Amino acid sequence: MHAVFVSPDPRHTYTAATPPAPPLPGSESAQVYLALALAAAGHQITLITGTPTVHSHAGVTTRPLAQAVPTLKEADVVLVTNNPRIACETRDHVRRTVPVVAWQHNFWRACGPDAALLRDRFTGPRDRVLCVSAWHRTDHIRAGGLEAARVDVLPNAIAPVFEGLFSETPVVAHKAWPPRLAFTSVPYKGLEPALDLFEQLRGRRPELSLLLFSSFDFYPPGNSQKADPRWAALSERAARTPGVLSLGNVPQATLARALKSTLALFYPSILPETSSIAVMEAMAAGCVVVTTRLGALPETLAGHGVLADGDDRGFSADDFLNRTLGVVETFSGTPERLEPALADQVAYANRTLTWASRARAFEQLVDAWRAGD
């Protein structure tokens, strides 16, 4: 199988060798890691990005956007990330029997005006929409009006450096004292409430610290979120907040080591997550995940972690604080009580949340698409 992955934004100049250092945004990380896993399984893989030159790494060839059309003519399946317009245009350059996949990572309302193209124009017999969770699929069908038979699911997974972080030693034995919390998502997904809640939390447990692995540094120039002055002000606030250590975006191996000794992911998410890589990687690192019920977060946790009360409108700040305090108090007094759940969570992540397992699932999807199922 020759699978071609297309990242249409010319500002994204990464190759298959870019992560894990420096890191990439979630959608681009997923693209690279699935490409690498498929190459490791013996498939021919091409990644098309804004890179200026051809680059080869671990069986994946990265080509510039200028070489997209001749490459598409050789493809057996094409995946276009987060750009319905380009997914529609791609159909003109591939063989009639080749599946073209609009690989969506955002919830419907965040997909922009081009999203309607998925409903109105991206309707051919080999046109597929690929979502990253069952919740995400339902969101696209209900909010977007997509035909259910055209929408499939391939969840995200953890970066390879998060696999196998623990051996025989109990997970809880690796957690630092005084206890540390971490926020590892982009700022707009919940950094402001995280700072609000942490200030209250530290008023009751002054020994706590909060590690912030959060910035827009890995976004390309001109990104609207990156340019918003609100985030610079929020960063300045974080730097002034006692107990908060702002570390920005770090190589994934550095993040994995830090989370391995961190008690909890402190994630008061305020936007619907479609398949949270940040949560998955915290699970693999043995963190207690304290988060909200928005979007696919309950699905991502699969029975692990701690979910604050609330609904699709948000969450209860009091409940979020109380649940976090409960985790801290258990760790302070009887940490061994956390071990069974954390060991089970880590085993689940290593067994289920890997790109090798996603590659096998993707192979099955492609077989079905090419057979016309």
Report the CATH number at residue 208. 3.40.50.2000
Nearest in space to 312 (alpha carbons), one of 301, 323, 302, 297: 297
3-state SS class at 370? helix
36 with 16, same domain? yes
Cβ-based neighbour number of residue 205 at 10 Å: 15
Nearest in space to 3 (alpha carbons), one of 39, 50, 54: 39
Nearest in space to 106 (alpha carbons), one of 118, 96, 122: 118
For 352, phi then psi, to 5°, come to -115, -40
Q: Which residues of 239-268 are buried (b: 16+ CB within 10 A; e: fewer)?
A: eebebbebeebbebebbbebbbbbbbbbbb
Structure tokens given for 63: 């080509």
Spatial distance between the Cα atoms of 40 and 173, rounded to a whole number of angstroms: 34
274 with 144, same domain? no
Sequential pLDDT tens for the chain (373 residues): 999 999 999 999 999 999 988 788 899 999 999 999 999 999 999 999 999 999 999 999 999 999 999 999 999 999 999 999 999 999 999 999 999 999 999 999 999 889 999 999 999 999 999 999 999 999 999 999 999 999 999 999 999 999 999 987 899 999 999 999 999 998 889 999 999 999 999 999 999 999 999 875 655 566 566 566 787 788 889 989 999 999 988 999 999 999 999 999 999 999 999 999 999 999 999 999 999 999 999 999 999 999 999 866 678 999 999 999 999 999 999 999 999 999 999 999 999 999 999 999 999 999 999 887 5
Spatial distance between the Cα atoms of 257 and 21, rounded to a whole number of angstroms: 14
Q: Give kind and range of the element (H or E) at residue 48.
A: strand 44-49
Spatial distance between the Cα atoms of 245 and 150, rounded to a whole number of angstroms: 45
pTM: 0.95
For 79, phi then psi, to 5°, come to -120, 120
Structure tokens given for 88: 């529609």
175 with 299, same domain? yes
CA 38 to chain centre: 18
Spatial distance between the Cα atoms of 270 and 122, rounded to a whole number of angstroms: 31
The DSSP bridge partners found for residue 265 are 182, 289
Which DSSP letter does residue 246 get? E
Question: Which residue in this structure is represented by tokens 């080999």?
Answer: 126
Nearest in space to 295 (alpha carbons), one of 31, 157, 108: 108
360 with 346, same domain? no
228 with 335, same domain? yes
3-state SS class at 98? coil
Structure tokens given for 347: 């085993």
Spatial distance between the Cα atoms of 28 and 73, rounded to a whole number of angstroms: 23
User: β-strand 60-64 against 55-57: which pairing, if any?
Assistant: antiparallel
Contact 18, 72 (CB under 8 A): no
**Domain boundaries, position 247:** 160-352
174 with 215, same domain? yes
Q: How many domains does the chain have?
A: 2
3-state SS class at 344? helix
187 with 132, same domain? no
Spatial distance between the Cα atoms of 295 and 158, rounded to a whole number of angstroms: 19
239 with 151, same domain? no
198 with 208, same domain? yes
78 with 19, same domain? yes
Contact 185, 269 (CB under 8 A): yes
